[in-house]
Chains A and B, each alone.
Chain A
């Protein structure tokens, strides 16, 4: 669902929303959509956040429209049902707590009360909460008295009371409709302002409203599960020179920071000081000088600029400074002379976006945009009309709000109607047969031309830089790592080997057939662009260093061409058995595990440590692969991407894709200081126990490093900033650091941060819109309908399933939520039998079957079943530190649970759990399509078969590895793996 809209109000009082993404190909709806109120009331003004829109109608009511979400907006109501034993279990005495109450028993609740706020509906009826560890099969807990501290799940002789928790879910169902916001005091309002999205974080916002009584109110209690908030809170009146000023006529807020402005009847401007996340009301008003001290009638703030209209119709703008630390605008820097006039007349309402683009409604009631706004030219060039895509055409408008728009330059489809048309045209032609023929022939011709050139016998050939054909003997100069140092070497690349010559007559020869894969890395201090080349078994590698990225890229592509040729000459099915890996720097590699044996002409499996692999463009944190070559990956910010089904690592160098991949990464740097006698804490040279004075990514770096790993990266913040201005102390430089009031310790450190952006414009990965994801699972067999099942776990513990994924539609069509009662910490898709297993943070393991869900937008939470085994051996191992490190995987009826470095094997058919199986440094456990479990620690171990010995006296087993394939040291530089 696109959530970037421009909201407008037509002259007839109907709200309209205009989809405004940066790339119109990503969304399905591009037309303007009118959304009238169901009761026909006319709207006067509108504001919006990325998740909801708010409007005021002619009678002064505030309405809310909640946009459709992937995750349901739900709340849960709980009551306790209390009973006493009087021969049979029945209701309680009147001196007891009521039959239905809250947990304390003091408040009586009537379960038949059905009232809920408008827009919400009950999802189900009251039903008991079940948990086999605390309650019996019907949900009861028993005790001697209601005040007793202990509740037992089994009823014993001396238990006289019992209670159970009844729960009922309520959902917001009125998405995309205007609903009146609850209003106890039946106030009337005239204006709205919304802002502070960056300050509130996580989709939050602050909503202000101007009442018809002249007071400004803030809506309290707005929360993702309660989008319309709970009540209005009064903000103190604006005072000017110690007396209450004239009435406020207009309020406005910045979409990014928490800045609220108010304009009074006499044209003065004020801003509210002190609005923070903790204190959203602020504490006082301060006046702001107006342009040349003229009266202001309208204003709007973005992030770095503010625009306003004075009473004479002139439109002014002023730059705003931001206090980075407090994250607020420095309004005190504005003087009446700081404003610049941009245009005279013609604009009636103005709205500034978060990235300081400016839209307005002109006096002729048309929507216009300020073209040419760039960081160097914040005032832009001129106001121009945008392309009218409304239905009916040529409408007149009275209001506009652009707070949820994110682009930082106007996309061309706003100004040019043909640009959108041509983008659609390109899409339409993409699959045409003539086009594919043209592409194929172009490639063939190009290959033929190059090979023609290369067959000429080297006479008078152009210098190598301009001739980039294959098979040209190349000379490369770079450095080779030997031990701790790098030495300069010359490399000659011949057909069958690489000859390496060093200055000290060191010479090595590497057979091209032994080159398995390469891995680019970035070293900060001293700065080098590294390329690890993996040769042979045990992940032996040579490390080459280059001073610039282009030389490394050239060398990398030469080596990868060699690897690719080998793979092509020996494999048949390129997406057969394979492994995907992501390095600790986020580099993705595909490893081919099936090679054709020259002797037998059959495909045989290769040990992952000896497999050949190729780098795939992209920057991710975790990956999973499934049937039909489907590969899904998640980056650090939780964005989800699916690999294009046209992508083939073996021909990736000759095809281009044009999806865009971006990620915003916060780089952290530690500054260390050691305590020296008489001098206090000082910085130091060199390193002690592997730690230097400046460390980034656990490796030494220069102070304030300004280089980035590759040209795909660019800085967002202009400089490093302290994350917090406090030091943490420790007695060991490599030990644990903590706050220390007395500032004592042998060493101290503090954290700096700086944001960078990673952009890949010709990426084969296509972004799939979703809430932030922590884990994705792809089925390794096709479903009965021929689709590929993809399930994701969001960062806040919700489960979504992606519908409609197949080879042609590799991104699927839409999401369905699988509702759960509590946040989930890890999940496993059992593709044989289409079952989904998941584990909660306290170690409860649940499962459910995955049914066809194309019609519903969610699957009910009552279909989960608890794992009916005594899992105490697992839950005993869950310490507070391990809570975030639980992983589920499995194959068919076998379920594996990994808690930190301990593995458990649960046989769900025979109902046995193994003893704890600890493995040194175990970090990840995944399963391949053949059912082998692949364990990643320092090595990657593929276990095809276990020896399982059952205990005679209880339902437990001892396990040991029987048939194993080990790739020594392969897990060293790798953060995530997936096997097919």
Chain B
């Protein structure tokens, strides 16, 4: 694992603005809450702090975590996707703006799923196991002890402080035993407004050369149902992850080991290049 790169992605934060829009506020809207949230974390974890800051104000009603939902640009947000992915999806790196999230206390729409901390932990571990299954047929997670998974979750809750704790566990997930390599690479590609796409991708081509991330993404797209990818043939889409353009010729194995999110998946948001 490349320490320099891992450390940098661990420490990256995005600016967020939370505005409360309660359905029955009598004293007007409270001021928006600004904060830098770590890309690696989840809204499910961050929302607590936001709500307690709103609730600290004497005026207005108290907002409860199970009676609210989050929205950005009219779309309900998913609380179980890493914040960095949400930010990238909102296509904000182009315009350098703050992610504006509205906290609504009205009835949540049907697509919105409320996720509390424990549920988040379960979903997180589920992702880890899925990623490991893809990589090593679940060899590592099978042998992982309970306190190790607890340690991993704890370090995710405490970004940016517990890097060393995180690194110790993740290293185990990134190493394979006895010279074997990853069977498949956990990669999720997000195309605008659709569910993410995932496919079975190997780290190397059949001839042994390293597969690049550009090739892997186009493999994922072509193997899933065809979406309008005509424009793709002229200009390859930009691969955004962690807020930056990932060079197309980056080896996939490097991205898997160093540019994954804590759930061990590489989340890439496609930005189609408008000619």
Contact = CB atoms under 8 A, between A and B. Distances in A.
B179 A446 contact: no
B245 to A, nearest CB: 6
B43 to A, nearest CB: 16
B196 interface: no
A466 B3 contact: no
**A interface, size bucket:** 35 or more
B5 interface: yes
Given A422-B1, A453-B34, A456-B98, A445 B178 contact: no
Contacts of B1: 422, 426
B142 interface: no
Contact of A656 (B4, B97, B242, B243): B4
A505 interface: no
A439 B2 CA distance: 11
A461 B14 CA distance: 14
Contact of B33 (A417, A446, A460): A460
Contacts of B96: 448, 452
A658 B34 contact: no
A459 interface: yes
Given A418-B179, A446-B12, A449-B14, A435 B254 contact: yes
A449 B15 contact: yes
A462 B35 contact: yes
Interface string A514-557: 00000000000000000000000000000000000000000000
Given A417-B178, A442-B242, A452-B97, A435 B2 contact: yes
A198 to B, nearest CB: 32
A371 to B, nearest CB: 14
A416 B178 CA distance: 6
A449 B13 contact: yes
A439 B35 contact: no
Interface in B250-275: 250-251, 254, 257, 259
A438 B246 contact: yes
Interface string A336-375: 0000000000000000000000000000000000000000
Nearest to A421: B179
Contact of B175 (A416, A442, A449, A460): A416
B177 interface: yes
A755 to B, nearest CB: 25
Nearest to A462: B35
A434 interface: yes
A658 B254 contact: no
A460 B13 contact: no
B146 interface: no
Contacts of B149: none
B187 to A, nearest CB: 16
A419 interface: yes
B27 interface: no
B49 to A, nearest CB: 9
Contact of B31 (A430, A444, A448, A459): A459
Contacts of A416: 175, 177-178
Nearest to A427: B2
A443 interface: yes
B36 interface: yes
Contact of B244 (A433, A442, A469, A656): A442
Nearest to A453: B15
Contacts of A445: 12, 93, 242-244
Scoring B2, B14, B174, B180 by chain A CB atoms within 10 A of each residue's CB, the highest score goes to B2
A430 B107 CA distance: 51
Contact of A658 (B3, B13, B93): B3
A442 B15 contact: no
Given A418-B179, A445-B244, A450 B36 contact: yes
A634 to B, nearest CB: 26
A462 B34 contact: yes
**B interface, size bucket:** 35 or more
B235 interface: no
B11 interface: yes
A682 interface: no
Interface string B69-110: 000000000000000000000000100111000000000000
A655 B36 CA distance: 21
Nearest to A456: B34
A429 B1 CA distance: 11
Contacts of A437: 247
Nearest to A445: B243
Scoring B31, B33, B34 by chain A CB atoms within 10 A of each residue's CB, the highest score goes to B34
B34 A656 contact: no
A435 B255 CA distance: 10
A467 interface: yes
B63 interface: no
B205 interface: no
Interface string B175-218: 11111100000000000000000000000000000000000000
A386 to B, nearest CB: 12
A441 interface: yes
Contacts of A435: 2, 5, 250, 254
Contact of A434 (B12, B242, B249): B249
A470 to B, nearest CB: 13
A422 to B, nearest CB: 6
B177 A460 contact: no
A549 B31 CA distance: 36
Contact of B15 (A429, A438, A441, A452): A452
Scoring A430, A445, A456, A466 by chain B CB atoms within 10 A of each residue's CB, the highest score goes to A445
Contacts of A443: 8
B102 to A, nearest CB: 15
Given A426-B2, A445-B93, A452-B15, A459 B175 contact: no
B4 A658 contact: yes
A684 to B, nearest CB: 46
B7 interface: yes
A439 B5 contact: yes
Contacts of A462: 34-36
A433 B251 CA distance: 12
B9 interface: yes
Given A435-B254, A449-B13, A460 B243 contact: no
Contacts of A460: 31-34, 53
Nearest to A457: B34
Nearest to B181: A418
Interface in A448-483: 448-450, 452-453, 456, 459-462, 466-467, 469
Contacts of B245: 441
Interface string B27-42: 0000111111000000
Nearest to B13: A449
A526 B9 CA distance: 41
Interface string A183-220: 00000000000000000000000000000000000000
Contacts of B93: 445
B32 A438 contact: no
Contacts of A461: 34
A440 to B, nearest CB: 9
Contacts of B7: 656
A551 to B, nearest CB: 17
A585 to B, nearest CB: 27
Given A446-B8, A462-B34, 12 more contacts: A418-B175, A426-B1, A435-B254, A438-B250, A449-B13, A449-B15, A452-B98, A456-B98, A460-B32, A466-B36, A467-B36, A469-B36
Interface of A: 416-419, 421-422, 426, 429-430, 433-435, 437-439, 441-446, 448-450, 452-453, 456, 459-462, 466-467, 469, 655-656, 658
24 contacts: A416-B175, A418-B178, A419-B175, A422-B174, A429-B2, A434-B249, A439-B5, A442-B8, A442-B12, A442-B242, A442-B244, A445-B242, A446-B12, A450-B13, A450-B36, A452-B15, A453-B15, A456-B34, A459-B32, A460-B33, A461-B34, A462-B36, A655-B4, A656-B4
Question: Which 9 residue pairs across A and B have the least CB separation, nearest first?
Answer: A441-B244, A434-B247, A453-B15, A445-B243, A434-B250, A442-B8, A460-B31, A452-B15, A417-B179
